[in-house]
Structure 1
Amino acid sequence: MRANYLCVLFCTLFLPILFAAACEKSRETLLVAPLAINDHDTTFVHPGLLHTAAAFERMKTKVAAGTEPWLSGWNKLTSNAHSSTSWTASPQAIVYRGADGVHPENYSLLFNDVAAAYASALRWKVSGDEVYAKQSISIMNAWSAQLTLLAGNNDSVLAAGLYGYEFANAAEIMRTYKGWSASDLARFQRMMLKVFYPVNHTFITRWERCMGHYYANWDLCNMCSLLAIGVLCDDRDIYNEAITYFKYGAGNGNIKNAVYYVHDDGLGQWQESGRDQGHTMLGMALMGAFCEMAWSQGDDLYGYDDNRFLKGAEYVAKYNLGQDVPYVAYTNCLGVNQTVISEASRGNARPVWELIYNHYVKLKGLSAPYTTQYAANVRPEGGGGNYSSGSGGYDQLGYGTLTCTLDDGQ
């Protein structure tokens, strides 16, 4: 029994480090040497993850004019405690998610601070008040000075994916602030490459023997982190790793596995629909974030495979609005057999729908009646802490009414 326990402990704590050593030599050099940041040498757009410079200009203009629904979205942000300048960071050297039998979990400290770094960054970009810029970078500097490892049990993979992509988004916003020194930004980038990237990369490429073992959200959060780190660190190889997995990966983050069955009526059944609706909604949040970040860099994954993601979103929205949808039994390689769609957490209100609605309906002019209605139902969207004090309330950055709303015909 003790031997089994030690094996599990070793695999949980040290495999990500051992696998990271197998990364190509150029990446290995990058982890130990200061990053040479030269915006003229990169083909990436900055800021270029969930939000671009044009998006921030729109937010700023609309809020200043008191225009709805942007103003209501802004009020959601400013009333959230995570955007307060009184927020105090709680950095840790090791973050534990998942009980390993030895260490208590402390990952809530990380996801709360990530939410605060992001919310403060948004407040700075929209208001221009540098006090929020300083608040955001102080949080990120505190963590980059201490964090060395993500540990626990297999759930540490979720921490790497979820908080990896969210932290990278906060940093991508703040890289435009002249008060964030080049050395501090470089240290944050090294943390992302050394602590988060190896776990993301290892999970996507090596951990899954039976690729149906993990539900779609496991793949998707790590794909989001890979893509976000690739942009933040100007690493095209990491970025391409994420894009390639979306199109051709063996696991459930592959769009054709995530929306694994398209019904005759055009609705696309989501891979986790037979599990519960809370995780299905998380899939909408993560796939939406992935597509939006790629869109900012000129890659249209929203439209990939005849708008396959939209078909999945319409399926999920219709069912969670209380309407019937067709369902085919889902079986994976471990023998999980889900013969009916799950009603658990039906009607979940995660802040994920503004992004999907505005892209497909307002930007592309496509019909998405169920997505449109769901977005209206949850508007204005809040952020971390507005929906739950538990981890599920921080699995997405939120504030989509402020950040994603477009003018009609835009």
Structure 2
Amino acid sequence: MRRTAFLATVTALVLGALVPVNVPRAQAVPAASAAFAHPGVTVSRAQLDFVRDKVGAAAQPWKGAFDQLLASKYADLSRTPEPRAVVECGSYSNPDHGCTDERQDALAAYTDALAWYVTRDERYAKKAIELMDAWSAVVKDHTDSNAPLQTGWAGSSWPRAAEIIKYTYTGAWANSGRFATMLRDVYLPEVINGSHSNGNWELSMTEAAIGISVFLEDRSSYDKAMARFRTRTAAYVYLASDGELPRTVPSQNLNTRDKIVAYWQGQGTFVTGLTQETCRDLTHTGYGISAISHVAETSRIQGQDLYGTDVGERLRQALGFQARYQLGASVPSSLCGGSLKLGLGPVTEIGYNALHNRLGIAMSNTGTLTLRNRPAAGNNLFVAWETLTHGDNPA
């Protein structure tokens, strides 16, 4: 057997063994490609080419979205990076010792990488490199209670930027190896083993682990994070086919109905599309949904299309359920006591494009909300410019 075929077969067997036993066999993970595709974190070269062509033709919504990007503080070529050796983040970033600076510098690097690709103006590529080099020369650790989540947020943005620069910019990036070492030694150990907190934590951390693994070409870490992602996604979004109660992450020991209801923010009535954090607020729910869409898109680029599995169905239902109420539908008394905290955020573009535009699935509420939010900017944490990169993008 050829080596590439052998590796693909082994990977498929390992991943298949890690699928939860109550996932239908028809939804097992497709076989992975033997080699990683680059750039391949959230956005591919084909998608970037589509965006560049549309912006060049002044077509909407891409031209408007790109103008929004260039006008943002993240594309400011005079930006000065603010790296710290130790980033200390408490609950809700209090204290904030480098937390906002790190997240925003990472988002700025990604913004500059996109600006470089579309314009071919080397100043943006060099600014992205400056930001990545500044942090890779300094940062050593993340501390305090929000350290895992902070590492997940920043660690999701860094590899998106790095993938575009490393694989499309022909100029010098002398410290790319040091940047890789930063991701491997500072970020990956913090996120690879997940979290027992609210589901958006582990989903964001897993997104970071998967993106970092692509950049490092670390198949073992990629497969480990992807298996954790499948389990957590199934435990984050409820489907009626799950049974009377939502699925759980086994290591959390949510082994009674009372424990599960408490973990689901006191919600005891489970309906398709409900998430573990819907009754907390739609903002944090949006973080979880966004991470699911980012990982599904990265996985598709890497040769494993999860949109046709339970991951895609959970993403579709979660988007539609939350979008309905974000659009103003009345909340029944059986849902969160009849009251929801809105604020879903700009998190619908990737899932809507993949499921509705590519697969032809009807998603009326999600579509209405997506069009209403265009051009979607971001959430200043780990979501940015998704109308530009994924809005009606067939690539």
Q: What is the TM-score of this pair, normalised by structure 2?
A: 0.79
5+ residue gaps, structure 1, are 1-40, 209-213, 249-253, 330-338, 384-392
Shift of 1:303: 2.5
Q: 1:274 aligns with which of 266, 276, 279?
A: 279
The equivalent of 1:358 in structure 2 is 353
* 1:161 and 2:152 are equivalent in the alignment: yes
Give distance in 2, aligned partners of 1:326 and 1:104: 38
1:363 alignment partner AA = R
Shift of 1:342: 4.6
Q: Deviations over 1:193-228 (max 9, x none)?
A: 1011111124x2xx64xxxxx111011011101100
2:46 alignment partner AA = A
Give distance in 1, aligned partners of 2:315 and 2:160: 22
Q: Deviations over 1:306-363 (max 9, x none)?
A: 622111111111121111467867xxxxxxxxx536522x1x2522111121111111
8 A contact 1:349–1:378 mirrored in 2: no
The equivalent of 2:318 in structure 1 is 312
Q: 1:322 aligns with which of 320, 328, 339?
A: 328
8 A contact 2:273–2:320 mirrored in 1: yes
8 A contact 2:192–2:225 mirrored in 1: no
Q: 2:139 aligns with which of 138, 147, 154?
A: 147
Q: 2:215 aligns with which of 211, 217, 232?
A: 232
The equivalent of 2:369 in structure 1 is 374
Give distance in 2, aligned partners of 1:157 and 1:266: 30
Q: Which secondary structure state, in structure 1, belongs to the residue aligned with residue 290 of structure 2?
A: helix
Give distance in 1, aligned partners of 2:239 and 2:334: 8
Instruction: Tell which deviates more after alignment, 102-111 or 285-294.
Output: 102-111
8 A contact 1:77–1:382 mirrored in 2: yes
Q: Which secondary structure state, in structure 2, belongs to the residue aligned with residue 147 of structure 1?
A: coil
The equivalent of 1:395 in structure 2 is 381
Give distance in 1, aligned partners of 2:192 and 2:314: 25
8 A contact 1:162–1:225 mirrored in 2: yes
Give distance in 2, aligned partners of 1:125 and 1:272: 36
* 1:257 and 2:239 are equivalent in the alignment: no
Q: Deviations over 1:12-66 (max 9, x none)?
A: xxxxxxxxxxxxxxxxxxxxxxxxxxxxx97000001111110111011000000
2:210 alignment partner AA = L
8 A contact 1:42–1:234 mirrored in 2: no
Q: Deviations over 1:154-196 (max 9, x none)?
A: 2111111111111111111111222243x51111111011011
The equivalent of 1:21 in structure 2 is none
The equivalent of 2:10 in structure 1 is none
Q: How many residues align?
A: 333
The equivalent of 2:300 in structure 1 is 295
The equivalent of 1:241 in structure 2 is 224
Give distance in 2, aligned partners of 1:45 and 1:189: 17
Specify whether residues 233 and 326 from structure 1 end up closer, same or farther in structure 2 by C-alpha distance, changes over 3 A only: farther
Q: Which secondary structure state, in structure 2, belongs to the residue aligned with residue 66 of structure 1?
A: coil
Specify whether residues 326 and 241 from structure 1 end up closer, same or farther in structure 2 by C-alpha distance, changes over 3 A only: farther
The equivalent of 1:43 in structure 2 is 35
Specify whether residues 228 and 104 from structure 1 end up closer, same or farther in structure 2 by C-alpha distance, changes over 3 A only: closer
Q: 1:192 aligns with which of 183, 189, 210?
A: 183
Give distance in 2, aligned partners of 1:82 and 1:143: 16
Q: Which secondary structure state, in structure 2, belongs to the residue aligned with residue 397 of structure 1?
A: coil
Q: Which secondary structure state, in structure 1, belongs to the residue aligned with residue 142 of structure 2?
A: strand
The equivalent of 2:7 in structure 1 is none
Specify whether residues 157 and 399 from structure 1 end up closer, same or farther in structure 2 by C-alpha distance, changes over 3 A only: same
* 1:404 and 2:390 are equivalent in the alignment: yes
8 A contact 1:46–1:52 mirrored in 2: yes
Give distance in 1, aligned partners of 2:271 and 2:90: 39
8 A contact 2:89–2:95 mirrored in 1: no
Shift of 1:260: 2.3
8 A contact 2:239–2:271 mirrored in 1: no
8 A contact 1:201–1:226 mirrored in 2: yes
Q: Which secondary structure state, in structure 1, belongs to the residue aligned with residue 138 of structure 2?
A: coil
Q: 1:283 aligns with which of 279, 288, 293?
A: 288
The equivalent of 2:337 in structure 1 is 340
The equivalent of 2:45 in structure 1 is 53
1:230 alignment partner AA = S
2:53 alignment partner AA = T
2:381 alignment partner AA = D
5+ residue gaps, structure 2, are 1-32, 244-269
Q: 2:202 aligns with which of 219, 222, 241?
A: 219
Specify whether residues 321 and 235 from structure 1 end up closer, same or farther in structure 2 by C-alpha distance, changes over 3 A only: same
8 A contact 1:355–1:400 mirrored in 2: yes
The equivalent of 1:62 in structure 2 is 54
1:140 alignment partner AA = M
The equivalent of 1:25 in structure 2 is none
Q: 2:67 aligns with which of 39, 62, 75?
A: 75
The equivalent of 2:161 in structure 1 is 170
Shift of 1:148: 0.7
Instruction: Tell which deviates more after alignment, 42-51 or 116-125.
Output: 42-51
Instruction: Tell which deviates more after alignment, 168-177 or 54-63.
Output: 168-177
Q: Percent identity?
A: 30
Instruction: Tell which deviates more after alignment, 190-199 or 317-326.
Output: 317-326
Give distance in 1, aligned partners of 2:338 and 2:315: 19
Specify whether residues 405 and 274 from structure 1 end up closer, same or farther in structure 2 by C-alpha distance, changes over 3 A only: same
2:129 alignment partner AA = I
